[in-house]
Amino acid sequence: MLTLLRAAAALALLALPARADVATAVEQVILPGYAGFTEAARALETAAEADCRPEALRPAYHAAFDAWMAVSHLRFGPAEEGGRSLAIAFWPDPKGSGAKTMARMIAAEDPAVEDPAAFAEVSIAARGLFALERLLYDPALTGDYACALTRATATDLARLAAEIEAGWAEFAPLLLTAGQPGNARFLTETEARQALFTQLMAGLEFTADQRLARPLGTFDRPRPERAEARLSERSLRNVQLSLAALERLARALAPDSPQTEAGFEAAGRLAAELDDPALARVGDVQGRLKVEILQQRIHALRDTVTTDVGAALGVSTGFNAADGD
Amino acid sequence: MKNRLLASLLSATALCAQPLLAAEPAEVVGTYADIAAATYADSLSTAKALQSAVDMLIAMPGEDTLQAAKTAWLAARVPYQQSEVFRFGNPIVDDWEGKVNAWPLDEGLIDYVDASYGGATEENEFAALNVVATPKFTLSGSEIDATEITPALIGETLHEADGIESNVASGYHAVEFMLWGQDLNGTGPGAGARPYTDYLTGDGCTNGHCDRRAAYLKAATDLLVSDLDYMAKAWAEGGEARAAVTADPAAGLSAMLTGMGSLSYGEQAGERMKLGLMLNDPEEEHDCFSDNTHNSHYYDGLGVQNVYLGSYTRPDGSVVSGPSLSELVAAKDATLDETLKAELAASVEALGAIKAKAESGTAYDQMLAAGNAEGEALIMGAVDALVTQTASIERAVTALGLNGIAFEGSDSLDNPNAVFQ
């Protein structure tokens, strides 16, 4: 059934006029993705106002995180301005800045929680989905101040989501009018295609080289404690949702790419078979092997997408936010 | 045969259409290699001056010898930071760079730290090992004898111990820590204030183990010199790094632009500047012990401009220059060249404004403080300038027809069957 739907979707895309790649990606994938995140973040804020207890708020937290995974790889435009995407999801955090900053805030009962404008100035390490995860899953964080912090964090997330969505109302037309007179951001259609293609490639690399590589560590020294969102046991779920989101973007950009589709399908299947929600089994040989195979599959997929989607769009990867070390 | 004839006709036409004195790609990558060679040679000679100053400090610990060593360290950073643009796009440099310029570090691995530093962390059980005070310890199941502190111990055993990147035992920042000590002023004024008595032997020794501390400083400095010597040779005539960029000029041009764009955007604007600002963390500054971050950022930016303009000014004031990337881009798209030159000048100016502010008494870590609007504006001004120039660097890649020229081999390109595995 799913395959049929996929085939139908592919046919629908094929029927679109040529050069619809950027428009399809923006209108059918990116904008709905951000709308979904805004909605989920708003629902989280409402839920936190109603009841800030962790057990009550966890479903709304997961829904918001799920919605974020649909757009988390888009590290350009409004999500990158003001560092909003980092403020929403600051990970990895190799120095443990998040836990340290939150411990300081809690010890001092930092009054920033009372004022959304002041809270917006708090270190990104102590904001966003990962701060909320600690508040909802670390049993040490309880009490009235933790409740106020939970509410402030949810409100801040809803604000960030709304700002990004509002920003895209301005940014989307720039992508859609690439190459037209007066568009100084994208001088050619190719630049708009390259910008989207770069997000796709960087997203694949982030999942393989951070989400999977960090917990894998080395054979002698696996690092399960470094898995993303392990407290709320969403490490594997984030990998799966990220792959699904990247697949939607790839399909929008280059609908007729059977090798890319096969690659995503294979990676998705391997991830679904993992049955290790927090990637905690990277320490035992069997568990580790499965994660390594998935990682190799995504590396191969990255190469397929380079030749397949890259060639269809006539672009190669541009510079991206993850180019640093 | 026919195709070949057509191709040569086409390329002849293309050449005729260009200005007579247009730079050739081979000459441009030659200039690039010459600038790299000079930059690393200067990094090496200034590191040797640092080595002499360190020897003096250890032989005669005092305010003046400690200050002289610090001054030599600061001077050594000037050419080295201008070399960072060679890192991205040149795998030889990128693979080596972690030994000499790794950052940030859990400095408690090396020497004593303040109580506020805390101990071992969940991420790093050796964050507070303190090798200076600990001649023998267990590391990842092996007994380590650190009775004698040597360059080999630092480079092969301690550096990235336990596979953790923040276990930085070697390079500029390890030496910086040994000279300045921790900066305990947070986002307030002041740098690290290690007393020279940390290197006194006998009764005057402060904080214990002065002989081992001196041995560490000496070994780390010697290792830095030998690592830089390796890279200076790699770019000299006949060196492997030079050969890698000159063998195929198109790939060399791609490496040049990759270095410029990756350093400008992901590394400097993102990782080093914007992230630090958003974390409001005083340790998120590149040269955090010495409060030299303003210079570190400024010379990074200058290095990007050097590569584009094909010109590098050495510490003695002499200039290494030649046919430039700028000329090559101008021949294809004069407007783009003018834009990029103006943008590079603007980012150097914006980084210069941070440098000027720091030199007038407000250190970079103070600019990072939450609520410091002026500091934030200065830093974001440079971030925005670096992001802006990245778009033009990307356009230069397209203008020169370098899209799709991957410098590092990708599996599928080298081995088409890899995608089916």
CATH number at residue A143: 1.20.1420.20
Whether residue A274 sits in one domain with residue A199: yes
Per-residue pLDDT, averaged over B169-198, amounts to: 93
Whether residue A148 sits in one domain with residue A183: no
pLDDT at A325: 56
Please, are residues A132 and A168 in contact by the beta-carbon 8 Å criterion? no
pTM of this prediction?
A: 0.88
Query: For B259-279, what is each residue's pLDDT tens digit?
Result: 999 999 988 998 889 988 898
Q: How many CB atoms lie within 10 A of CB B147?
A: 9
Look at residue A26 and tell me if it is in a domain.
no
Look at residue A53 and tell me if it is in a domain.
yes
Look at A231-245, B386-400, B402-416 and tell me which has the smallest mean pLDDT.
Answer: B402-416
Whether residue A271 sits in one domain with residue A183: yes
Confidence of residue B4 (pLDDT cuts 50, 70, 90): very low
Range of the domain at A257: 177-315
Query: For A51-69, what is each residue's pLDDT tens digit?
Result: 999 999 999 999 999 999 9
Per-residue pLDDT, averaged over A6-33, amounts to: 70
Most distant pair of Cα atoms in chain B: their distance: 86
| One-letter amino acid of B38 | A
Burial class (CB in 10 A: 0-12, 13-18, 19+), B185: middle
Residue holding tokens 């479903």? A59
Q: How far is CA B74 from CA B80, B175, B213, in A?
A: 10, 11, 21
Tokens of B311: 């010109």
**CATH number of the domain within which A255 lies:** 1.20.120
Look at residue A181 and tell me if it is in a domain.
yes
pLDDT at B336: 98
Residue holding tokens 């005539």? B237
Q: Based on C-alpha coordinates, what's the Rg of chain A?
A: 20
Last residue of a domain, one of A167, A201, A227: A167
Distance from CA of A14 to the nearest CA of B (A): 24
Q: How far is CA B16 from CA B10, B11, B13, B22, B285, in A?
A: 10, 9, 5, 11, 50
Whether residue A136 sits in one domain with residue A216: no
Which residues does residue B313 pair with via DSSP β-bridges, in sequence order?
Answer: B319
* A221 with B421: Cβ contact below 8 A: no
Tokens of B266: 């992901």
pLDDT at B407: 37
pLDDT at B416: 31
Residues of A in contact with B393 (CB under 8 A): 319
Look at A5-14, A135-144, A220-229, B222-231 and tell me which has the smallest mean pLDDT.
Answer: A5-14
More confident residue, B147 or B267: B147
Residue B420 has pLDDT above 60, yes or no: no
More confident residue, B13 or A170: A170
Per-residue pLDDT, averaged over A240-246, amounts to: 98
Per-residue pLDDT, averaged over A149-175, amounts to: 98
Sequence-separated (6 or more) residues with CB below 8 Å from residue A116: A152, A155, A156, A159
Per-residue pLDDT, averaged over B161-166, amounts to: 89
Mean pLDDT computed over every residue of chain A? 92
With a pLDDT cut of 90, the percent of chain B lying above it is 75
* B266 with A263: Cβ contact below 8 A: no
Task: Determine the straight-line distance between the first and last CA of chain B, rounded to whole angstroms.
Answer: 37
pLDDT at B29: 97
pLDDT at A35: 98
Look at residue A248 and tell me if it is in a domain.
yes
pLDDT at B282: 66
Query: For A300-321, what is each residue's pLDDT tens digit?
Result: 999 999 999 999 999 988 888 7
Whether residue A213 sits in one domain with residue A96: no
Residues of B in contact with A194 (CB under 8 A): 394
pLDDT at B372: 87
* A123 with B123: Cβ contact below 8 A: no
- Give ipTM to 2 decimals: 0.85
Please, are residues B163 and B170 in contact by the beta-carbon 8 Å criterion? no
Phi-psi region of A92 (alpha: psi -120 to 50; beta: other; left: phi over 0): beta
Which of B87, B93, B101, B123 to mutate to test binding with chain A, by most A CBs within 10 Å of its CB?
B123
* B411 with A218: Cβ contact below 8 A: no
Whether residue A145 sits in one domain with residue A50: yes
Which secondary structure element, helix H or strand E, spans residue B312, and what is its range? strand B311-313
Per-residue pLDDT, averaged over A150-164, amounts to: 98
Whether residue A103 sits in one domain with residue A78: yes
More confident residue, B239 or A18: B239
Whether residue A121 sits in one domain with residue A85: yes
- The Cα–Cα gap between B336 and B406 comes to 23
* B265 with A322: Cβ contact below 8 A: no
Residue holding tokens 């010597």? B229
Residues of A in contact with B300 (CB under 8 A): none
Instruction: Kindly give the pairing relationship between strand B142-145 and strand B319-321.
Output: unpaired
Whether residue A205 sits in one domain with residue A296: yes
* A225 with B122: Cβ contact below 8 A: yes
Residue A7 has pLDDT above 60, yes or no: no
Last residue of a domain, one of A140, A167, A194: A167
Look at A171-175, B236-240, B360-364 and tell me which has the smallest mean pLDDT.
Answer: B360-364
Whether residue A116 sits in one domain with residue A47: yes
Residue B397 has pLDDT above 60, yes or no: yes
pLDDT at B17: 44
pLDDT at A3: 45
Q: How many CB atoms lie within 10 A of CB B343?
A: 21
Q: Based on C-alpha coordinates, what's the Rg of chain B?
A: 23
Whether residue A183 sits in one domain with residue A162: no
- The residue among A65, A70, A32, A14 whose CA lies nearest residue A242 is A70
Q: How far is CA A147 from CA A112, A114, A283, A292, A323, in A?
A: 13, 12, 35, 39, 38
Cβ-defined contacts of B307-313 (< 8 Å, 24+)? B307/B32, B307/B35, B307/B85, B307/B256, B307/B259, B307/B260, B308/B260, B308/B340, B308/B341, B308/B344, B309/B341, B309/B344, B310/B28, B310/B31, B310/B32, B310/B35, B311/B35, B312/B35, B312/B38, B312/B39, B312/B82
Residues of B in contact with A324 (CB under 8 A): 262, 266-268, 270-272
pLDDT at A19: 59
* B275 with A194: Cβ contact below 8 A: no
Residue A12 has pLDDT above 70, yes or no: no
Residue B176 has pLDDT above 70, yes or no: yes
Which of A265, A303, A316, A325 to mutate to test binding with chain B, by most B CBs within 10 Å of its CB?
A325
Sequence-separated (6 or more) residues with CB below 8 Å from residue A216: A222, A223, A282, A288, A291, A292, A295
Look at residue A68 and tell me if it is in a domain.
yes
pLDDT at A324: 61
* Number of domains comprising chain A: 2
pLDDT at B60: 97
Please, are residues A235 and A227 in contact by the beta-carbon 8 Å criterion? yes
Per-residue pLDDT, averaged over B201-222, amounts to: 97
Last residue of a domain, one of A121, A149, A167: A167
Using DSSP, how many helices (H) and how many strands (E) does chain A show? 14, 0
Burial class (CB in 10 A: 0-12, 13-18, 19+), B67: middle
Residue holding tokens 């994208």? A186
Task: Determine the straight-line distance between the first and last CA of chain A, rounded to whole angstroms.
Answer: 43
Which secondary structure element, helix H or strand E, spans residue A119, and what is its range? helix A116-119
pLDDT at B404: 62
Mean pLDDT computed over every residue of chain B? 89
Residue B288 has pLDDT above 90, yes or no: no
Residue B13 has pLDDT above 60, yes or no: no
pLDDT at A176: 96
Query: For B49-65, what is each residue's pLDDT tens digit?
Result: 999 999 999 999 999 99
pLDDT at B154: 98
Whether residue A184 sits in one domain with residue A303: yes
Q: Which domains does chain B have, with CATH numbers?
A: 22-399 (1.20.1420.20)
